[in-house]
Amino acid sequence: MKILKDTYVVILAGGIGSRFWPISRENRPKQFIDILGTGNTLIQDAYSRYRVLVPSENIFVITNASYKDLVKEQLPELSDNQILGEPVGKNTAACVAYAANKIADLSDNGVLIVAPSDHLIQDENNFVNQMHIAHAYAKDNDALITLGLKPHRPDTGYGYIQYDEKEVSVGVNKVKTFTEKPPLELAEKFLDSGDFLWNSGMFVWSVPSILKALNEYLPEMNLTFGQGKGAYNTNIEGQHIERIYSEIASISIDNGLLEKADNVYVLPSDFGWSDLGTWKSVHEKLESKESNTTLNAILHAINAKDNLVVTDTEKLVVIKDLDGYFIVDSKDALLICKADQEQEVKKISVDIRKKYDGKFS
């Protein structure tokens, strides 16, 4: 498969992964952890995935400024200019606006791929094929493209895309509606209708198209980032970004732009995708022939099934009469939680941070 020319990838790697507490911590969140026991961290897997598509010098990572050293440690191929440090998290619209303005300084008409660092993709050949289709359409059209996946449960943690089944080009469909994280009742209706997809959070668009959309739907943010023109890709970029982030609002690219734009398109895709958002998603992806699933742990189970047991070392764990639990053990904290309460882990981690003054966060 050919390398895409004049194409840039920006990997989003700024989250703290609080749904993976107590393994994921503020000083080393999930994207920097080998969460599936493969030998590579999630961000290393993401880099390798996109290295097949574009030259290494065209891959950028945007993250919290405090994680820049972690990125450099895990991806030593990147130069300092390829690691974009946010002084504070301001959600994904800020990430996109920062990246778009920085890449615009390097290429007037390039194509930009924006993707999270914490996804699992099992069929990488099909993924690469889909990216080539999206790239070709984005290069020749004023289009904001996302990759969509067929939902298999009414999950409230995803954005949902309703699409026109008639293709505008091979593999590309027009988006009718774009809804970010609906309530359960609405998500169930979306699932029943059959014409909705999950938004994967992977986007493809040309630099002119995304700048035009930012100017139309997030004009204040776009104007503020535009004031840094001339500083991008220089040694004064950081100080301009400090000022810019102190002035902009926090909003997702989904709410701020994609729900409003009329030139949004989707590629219905199937490449073994998971966003690895909770321990439940890890449980699903760690295939096990046993009645319980383990990561690192040496498990002795007595009348116990459908449990996920994770330890940070090869620790012996004995469980008895447990059914459907997550048991996650780190050096200084232990989580035992019913599997159907996996969305509560984020709230738990926030409460722990407050109660213990950040000691276990």
Mean pLDDT of 125-135: 96
The pLDDT score that the predictor gives to residue 284 is: 84
Domain count, the chain: 2
Q: pTM (2 decimals)?
A: 0.92
Q: What is the distance between the alpha carbons of residues 238 and 1, in angstroms, rounded to a whole number?
A: 36
Mean pLDDT of 150-155: 86
Closest CA to 130 of 230, 49, 26, 184: 49
The pLDDT score that the predictor gives to residue 22 is: 94
The pLDDT score that the predictor gives to residue 262 is: 94
Residue-number span of the structural domain to which 320 is assigned: 279-342
Give yes or no for residue 1 having a pLDDT over 70.
no
The pLDDT score that the predictor gives to residue 156 is: 82
**Residue 349 falls within a domain, yes or no?**
no
- The percentage of the chain sitting over the pLDDT mark of 70, rounded to a whole number, equals 100
Give the model confidence (pLDDT) of 65-107 as tens digits.
Answer: 999 999 999 999 999 999 999 999 999 999 999 999 999 999 9
pLDDT band at 176 (very low <50, low <70, confident <90, very high): very high
The pLDDT score that the predictor gives to residue 2 is: 83
For the record, the structure tokens of 222 come out as 């776009």
Q: Are 135 and 175 within one domain?
A: yes
Question: If you count DSSP H runs as helices and E runs as strands, how many of each does the chain have, helices first?
Answer: 11, 17
The pLDDT score that the predictor gives to residue 181 is: 84
Q: Are 241 and 174 within one domain?
A: yes
Average pLDDT over all residues of the chain: 93
Q: Are 116 and 174 within one domain?
A: yes
With 0-12 / 13-18 / 19 or more C-beta atoms within 10 angstroms meaning exposed / middle / buried, residue 356 is: exposed
Q: Yes or no: say if 155 and 187 are a contact pair by the CB < 8 Å rule.
A: yes
Whichever domain contains 63, its CATH number is 3.90.550.10
Closest CA to 204 of 133, 106, 125: 133
Q: What is the distance between the alpha carbons of residues 53 and 64, in angstroms, rounded to a whole number?
A: 25
- The percentage of the chain sitting over the pLDDT mark of 90, rounded to a whole number, equals 78
The secondary structure of the chain in percent helix, strand, coil, rounded to multiples of 5, reads 35, 30, 35
Give yes or no for residue 140 having a pLDDT over 70.
yes
* Of the residues 274, 302, 329, the one at which a domain ends: 274
Give yes or no for residue 261 having a pLDDT over 90.
yes
Give the model confidence (pLDDT) of 225-242 as tens digits.
Answer: 999 999 999 999 999 999
Give yes or no for residue 194 having a pLDDT over 90.
no
Q: Are 39 and 146 within one domain?
A: yes
Q: Are 261 and 283 within one domain?
A: no
Q: Are 212 and 94 within one domain?
A: yes
Q: Peptide bond before 268: cis, by omega within 30 degrees of 0?
A: no
What pairing do the DSSP bridges indicate for beta strands 196-206 and 111-116? antiparallel
Q: What is the distance between the alpha carbons of residues 1 and 193, in angstroms, rounded to a whole number?
A: 36
80 to 110, 231, 235: CA distances (angstroms) = 21, 15, 10
Q: What is the distance between the alpha carbons of residues 344 and 196, in angstroms, rounded to a whole number?
A: 26
351 to 181, 278, 284: CA distances (angstroms) = 23, 17, 27
Q: Are 182 and 40 within one domain?
A: yes
Give yes or no for residue 289 having a pLDDT over 80.
no
Q: What is the distance between the alpha carbons of residues 105 and 285, in angstroms, rounded to a whole number?
A: 40
Mean pLDDT lowest for which of 20-24, 63-67, 152-156, 335-339?
152-156
Q: Are 60 and 173 within one domain?
A: yes
Q: Are 65 and 210 within one domain?
A: yes
pLDDT band at 153 (very low <50, low <70, confident <90, very high): confident
* C-alpha neighbours within 13 Å on the C-beta side of residue 345: 28
Q: Are 91 and 129 within one domain?
A: yes
Give yes or no for residue 136 having a pLDDT over 80.
yes
Q: In angstroms, how far is CA 214 from the centroid of its own chain?
A: 20
